[in-house]
Amino acid sequence: MKKVKIHTKEGDYEGLLVNEVIEKRRQFLIVKLDSGYNIGVDKAKIVTMQESEEKILPDQKTEPGRKPSQPESEKDSLYILHTGGTIASKVDYKSGGVSALFTPEEIVSLFPEIKGSHSIQARLISNVSSEDMGFSSYNNLIENIASFAKKEIEEKEKIKGVIITHGTDTLHYTSAALSFALHGLPFPVVLVGAQRSSDRPSSDARMNLACAVRFVEFAKPKEISGVFACMHSSISDDSCLIFRGVNLRKMHTSRRDAFRQINSAHFAEAWFNENRVELTKSALEELSSGEKKERFSHQEYRPDLRIGVLYAHPGLRKEEILAYQGFHGLIIAGTGLGHLGISRSEEADNTGNLEALKELIKTGTRIAVAPQSIHGRINLNVYSPGRKLKEIGILGNLCAMTIETAFIKLAYLISCFKPELIGELYHADFCGENRMRNLLNE
């Protein structure tokens, strides 16, 4: 993507050359100005156009306390894995829609703020919308990240971290999938998305990506590792929140501050216009707990897995439950403390629901319940319907996982462990998914 200076009969423009379009036999150059706005410049009115000289950006200056720039060969590597999504999308001027059109190299050139004391290595993993991600996609990411971890551990390559550009709609599924599958990471892995495409003036892509890089630069020297996500903290362009990969949820369809950590505080906050990252109280406590760091290892998901999600609702019928026959697993989004209609009352007309659940379990489908409510944990001990679900082998009692994290955890356990261990392991805590922390004074 070229940076150009254009002199026209009507004025001068400087920015990134995004595209060239033809409209009603007139040719226009689409230029992204430094302000973030796009402008169409009529080619017939251009007097001169030239590539501008490279500017020294704020992030490239030597700040107090920062070492002078190192030769590329001596810098730590920062890997950017590109999977597509809105953060890597722009307006397709032919169709008028938004499409994933950026190459990894274009992402780097479009967001100069991510340049720093590291060598950026971009890699195209996929170019899909996040709703098209699945277990094979997770395995592809796992394999790539594992190869980087082995480079650092075995080949002594200095790797600062890995950033994954990802669509927001299922970002929290992918962050959970990586959290369960990657153990003892030697660097932070940060998923970052955007609610608005990168060539819109209101886009959150630039800030989200810059804050993700800032967190990586903060985390690696402090030996903070694991899987995280980075998104806007509010509708303002001040800071981003750094979330743990599990129990993360998208809370709004379009707001830039759509994501929130459920049942615990976020991990950290990174400021856009300041070289500042602050950890929350719970993060500091976690890091000072003295837990021994495990050796790096990774596992993969069965690509043929069929895991369903059944939303409990008034009028639920056994036919809906039995539709999941042949599935490896099923998450029930339960009402209240984890219930669904099994009382056989004439008013509810749910005769056969309990027997249908028993039939699924008998034929090999592992079933767990997660709360429809946003916060809180499942408790099948309180009411008789819950106790009946527990008696027939429904998993999830006293678990504090979101539906999305429960879905991924069940898939992980079915993929990687013997069937007789799944019941016990589902209720264990692997990466913070079953911990509830006091949110006060964070």
Which of 227, 238, 195, 223 lies closest to 81 in space, CA to CA?
A: 227
> Residue 57: how many CB atoms within 10 A of its CB?
10
Q: What angle do CA 284, 288, 292 make, to 5 degrees?
A: 130
Amino acid at 55: K
The tokens of 417 are what? 């462990």
Amino acid at 42: D
Sign of torsion over alpha carbons 159, 118, 216, 121:
negative
Selecting among 168, 170, 174, 280, the annotated active-site residue is 168
Cβ neighbourhood burial of 275 (10 Å; 0-12, 13-18, 19+): middle
Q: Is 48 a catalytic residue?
A: no
Looking at 155-264, list the stretches that DSSP marks H as alpha helix, in order from N- to C-terminal side: 171-181, 205-219
8 membership: H or E segment, kind and range = strand 3-8
Selecting among 3, 76, 83, 86, the annotated active-site residue is 86
Q: Is 86 a catalytic residue?
A: yes
C-alpha–C-alpha distance, residues 282 and 244, integer Å: 12
Q: Is 169 a catalytic residue?
A: yes
Selecting among 3, 90, 160, 169, the annotated active-site residue is 169
DSSP 360-419: HHHTT-EEEEEESSSSS---TTSSHHHHHHHHTT-B-TT----HHHHHHHHHHHHHHS-H
C-alpha–C-alpha distance, residues 386 and 380, integer Å: 4
Q: What angle do CA 160, 165, 167 make, to 5 degrees?
A: 155
C-alpha–C-alpha distance, residues 110 and 119, integer Å: 16
* Residue tagged 């790096």 (tokens): 296
DSSP 61-90: S--TTPPPPPPGGGSEEEEEEE--SGGGEE
Which of 432, 428, 410, 429 lies closest to 419 in space, CA to CA?
A: 410
Which residues share a beta bridge with 269?
241, 278
Selecting among 250, 280, 335, 390, the annotated active-site residue is 250
Q: What angle do CA 188, 192, 197 make, to 5 degrees?
A: 160
Backbone angles phi, psi at 378, to 5 degrees: -75, 140
C-alpha–C-alpha distance, residues 179 and 405, integer Å: 10
What are the catalytic residues?
Answer: 86, 168-169, 250
